[in-house]
Amino acid sequence: MAGVTVGILSLTMELRKEPRFPVQLTVFIWGVDATGVKFAQVAQVRNVSGRGALLCGIEQPLRPEDLIGVQYRQRRAKFRVVWLRDSRGPEKILAAVERLKAEACPWPEEVMAVSKAPHGAQGVIASLRPGT
């Protein structure tokens, strides 16, 4: 079973444009859910990159391709939902999100702090700016 998991993880990493780094951040999110109802709530971020994040604790039903707003501290950005999973547990709904290209990364210091690898730093730095 471990071989299968490793294979899936390596395939997932190959599909990503950049590595994700584990973090524990609290963010504020808002948007329109799958039923057309506006929502706003606090959520948790489990991992980040300059281009995306894994959110958890989402209470509203969302769909892939939905747009949501994310605020971390005083920085806001719009993100597109890539995939969702209902954990059926305390993490509620998990959502992988990707930042829209025109938006700046809302957590650049956190990404830089956890991305210690010298060979990956240039790609991470470039992805923090709008348009990348």
- Looking up residue 58, the CATH number of its domain turns out to be 2.40.10.220
Mean pLDDT to the nearest integer, 80-93: 91
Backbone angles phi, psi at 60, to 5 degrees: -95, 145
How many helices (DSSP H) and strands (DSSP E) are in the chain? Answer: 3, 6
Mean pLDDT to the nearest integer, 71-80: 97
Rounded CA gap, 69 and 31, in Å? 6
Residue 90 lies in a domain: yes
Q: Which residues, 6+ apart, have CB-to-CB distance to 71 below 8 Å?
A: 27, 28, 29, 106
pLDDT band for position 89 (cuts 50, 70, 90): confident
Mean pLDDT to the nearest integer, 103-110: 92
* pTM of the predicted structure, to 2 decimals: 0.77
pLDDT band for position 127 (cuts 50, 70, 90): low
Residue 9, judged by CB atoms within 10 A of its CB (0-12, 13-18, 19+), counts as: exposed
Domain count, the chain: 1
Q: Which domain holds residue 41?
A: 17-127
Rounded CA gap, 54 and 59, in Å? 15
- Lowest mean per-residue pLDDT among 27-36, 40-49, 85-94: 85-94
DSSP H/E element including 39: strand 38-48
Q: One-letter amino acid identity for 79?
A: F
Q: Does residue 74 register a pLDDT over 90?
A: yes
